Chain A
């Protein structure tokens, strides 16, 4: 069966009736099949244009579930989203960026999903709808493991909600994203790091999110490091505060791409670079949100 509803309500009704494989951009869906024909029933959500686009809703930003990577990369967004936009430009080639959706990337729950670290570092939530009900789940609770999420079989991810940062007067926020692979495009990453920092008018870090991907089954926030950074002044020295112990929660694996030890060390280096880059931009007086 192949369904292509025109409205979210129709889609939810279909999901309530039977299990369906949800298909948006298809960029993860087809490659996972390695040439095998599609046999499962498919819910193609590509017509739900109401779910496409990024909106400022005051307390948070709403990234509709059909928003593509290209949409993100090209959107006029505050520096808070620089990291996510950088990730968007490094997901596959242009063709993949034009088709693949940010929400689909999260729902597919690959350990190497490019969207997970930047969105986790932004403190994002996933909005899930089922027929007649709607809930939001923090992203760190949404992705449960390799290819497993908290989405119920009858639920549809309808949006990613990113809380507004820097709401107090004079505060500003910015993010960065770095990725290490055999090269930038179209390989599974060895390590990815995203960092979001909010700074007070006196230059102190008032809020932050640091997340690492591809170094554990699920991208992880480095909560110990985040605590350590709070209250620190954002200067070039900030990078040195990141220490191996802050990455203790990661559980990188040895595989054909890289050894665990290298992943851990590389992740630490990327964390430091992300922090240094943000400090440099602050020092250079670049526009923060």
Chain B
């Protein structure tokens, strides 16, 4: 159904939404002036697991400015229900997957450091915080487990003893017997055992939510930065025990989401309930330290992967066993990330006929783990790309050559991968070649020699990725044409910095042949528009295609109205550049004049699109690092990439998305680690001093190239998802480069983040003591 278009292409880099951001007039939730709002402060568990036997709130209640103090027991008594999570998973025993019930405040047992146990509402945020200190919780500490490997070990402490196991969900794919046979007859088997490090997403805007309750209508309004307004609304309603229509979620500008601001967080439902309980709007804003404790985290998988190769270096079979740390409760789509999303691309860009996967979603006493930029796919690509490098080194085959031998050829498209997913289009070999050229791969030896001359080690690494994007493949768009000259697009996707206002306005404007400045984009208000939100790099190709279809539908609806107005048959009405006219005559009516004649001075186009084909962005990233062998410090010296994200509507926006993903990927590879103390379960990395986000002077410039020869076949825009590709590709590119630089010391693998100390140990261990 590909229909080459040039929708949106006309625009430059400058975005519609910029001016308010650049002048300090962004509309973020913390900036709202909410008349009469009270402020909530949450009491969080200092223990990884503890029974909250008795909670004495008397002193807090008596503190100045306090409006109310509530515990989990109060919520349960009032009929509040646990937060929902997606069904459809089973445990190892085949029964439905289980999670401890997660209430907005836990009524009985705190299950991780940071688990909300009580809340204080007061006149000011300061008064609420002061009073929260006075809530006396009588904790009975219990044994806890935080590390996923320990959680699966013999005699492991159980995160939830009633369940009898730490494995909440289990999923297997592939024919184990045939895969075993392939391994048994393989000429070579390469193995890797790695941990994909736990990350804290850390958008710079902390989570904020404001709840309001209207007694007259019995409706709740929750204002918060969420990527998924409708799902969040439904979950809030489920927790409050009311119909979804009784909750309205309103989203303003979002200061970065990265998957963390999806679905439901306990505070979202809590502020709604508090607003009713206290009879006034209630606002909660996370401190950064609370964000570290209470936001959903990302990654944290233990992966063991094996690759069987024949004598010619052809891949025969892949076996992946992973255990994903889910934290103390299954987050809304927690198990989807490792068991459903990531596994789709476990075989990466390679033709690997046989595949076996066993994944376990494991409960521990840590913050719940959910989506973070890439959500499962970075973990899958990291494993296969590290594994291919290990195989290349063991076999003495150049890592580029080994990849070339095994990449899915263009001629095989559409190609069904070993997991069972079908890639529609792609020219992986061409992308690889272009990336190597862009990276001056062949000039590496000279650069390495130059590094050597200054006492430094230099390594290069590449990563080839294929990414599944799309998630929910249905989206609706409404295009309102107003008599005052405006066009309003309503979309259930969500802008959070990725430039959707600009891209969508361009698409609709081009469909209607009008100036994009006339197009307003409305998102994030569940009373006005529903949809699946912005996750899994879906917005442009699903939501944008819906916008295009909505624009076209507006023309059709307008054609009928114009026929009426011009007293002609609809089939005789032609539309171009904002005017309907009777073919072959000069009788015409403008788009907006037509709208002005309608009873509500407007008319609507609407469309719902449903795709069957996800988009499969792919690309090759190349990294060179330089290492100071005496201190172990690693510096990313060069980074280049060629990405096939299909047709690019706005190349500058695309580049910005890739840049950001790469920065987060380099952060994962070299800087960021969320660590809990293995015994006490205390969070050890709870500030930006200990959890190092990349800063401006930590990163090099990135050289990007685009490959547009293979537009996506599944959507009319020909685009593929781009939001996550950098975060997918960068970690293996960087780690492959580090391992390459240290090859002479015989190192096979280093877990992320690769710290100076880890490198130093390898260098120090590989040479004579001084």
Contact = CB atoms under 8 A, between A and B. Distances in A.
Instruction: Classify A-B as touching or not with yes or no (CB < 8 A).
Output: yes
A133 B719 CA distance: 75
A37 B130 contact: yes
Given A180-B631, A182-B671, A269-B631, A187 B760 contact: no
Interface in B660-705: 671, 675, 684-685, 687-690, 692, 695, 697-698
Interface string B128-144: 01100100000000000
Given A37-B130, A182-B755, A266 B695 contact: no
Nearest to A184: B697
Contact of A187 (B287, B290, B689, B764): B689
Nearest to B684: A256
B761 interface: yes
Which secondary structure dominates where chain A touches chain B?
loop
Given A182-B755, A183-B695, A269-B630, A36 B760 contact: no
B633 A256 contact: no
A262 interface: yes
A183 B697 contact: yes
Interface string B732-770: 000000000000000000000001110011001000000
Given A184-B697, A187-B689, A257-B690, A37 B684 contact: no
Contacts of A186: 688-689, 695
A188 B695 contact: no
B149 to A, nearest CB: 18
Nearest to A38: B126
Interface string A80-105: 00000000000000000000000000
A35 interface: yes
Interface string A220-238: 0000000000000000000
Given A182-B671, A262-B761, A37 B126 contact: yes
Contact of A35 (B129, B633, B685): B129
A30 interface: no
A256 B688 CA distance: 14
Nearest to A182: B692
Contact of B757 (A184, A188, A262): A262
Interface in A2-25: none
Q: How large is the interface on A (under 10, 10 to 19, 20 to 34, 35 or more residues)?
A: 20 to 34
A266 B757 CA distance: 9
A180 B671 CA distance: 14
A259 interface: yes
B697 A182 contact: no
A236 B56 CA distance: 68
B690 A188 contact: yes
B668 to A, nearest CB: 13
A37 B697 CA distance: 32
A34 B631 contact: no
A265 interface: yes
Contacts of A188: 689-690
A258 B757 contact: yes
B760 A266 contact: yes
Interface string A51-84: 0000000000000000000000000000000000
Contacts of B287: 34-35
B289 interface: yes
B671 A256 contact: no
Interface string A248-280: 000000001111001001100110010000000
A184 B635 CA distance: 12
Contact of A180 (B290, B633, B675, B687): B633
A186 B695 CA distance: 9
Nearest to B686: A34
Contacts of B675: 256
B692 A183 contact: yes
B503 to A, nearest CB: 33
Nearest to B630: A269
A182 B130 contact: no
B760 A262 contact: yes
Nearest to B633: A180
Interface in B273-318: 287-290
A184 B671 CA distance: 12
Contacts of B687: 31, 34
A265 B764 contact: yes
Given A187-B690, A188-B690, 12 more contacts: A34-B289, A36-B129, A180-B631, A183-B671, A183-B692, A184-B697, A187-B692, A256-B675, A257-B690, A258-B757, A266-B631, A266-B756
Q: Which 6 A-B pairs have the closest CB atoms?
A: A35-B287, A262-B757, A256-B684, A269-B630, A182-B692, A37-B126
7 contacts: A182-B755, A182-B756, A185-B697, A186-B689, A257-B690, A258-B755, A262-B632
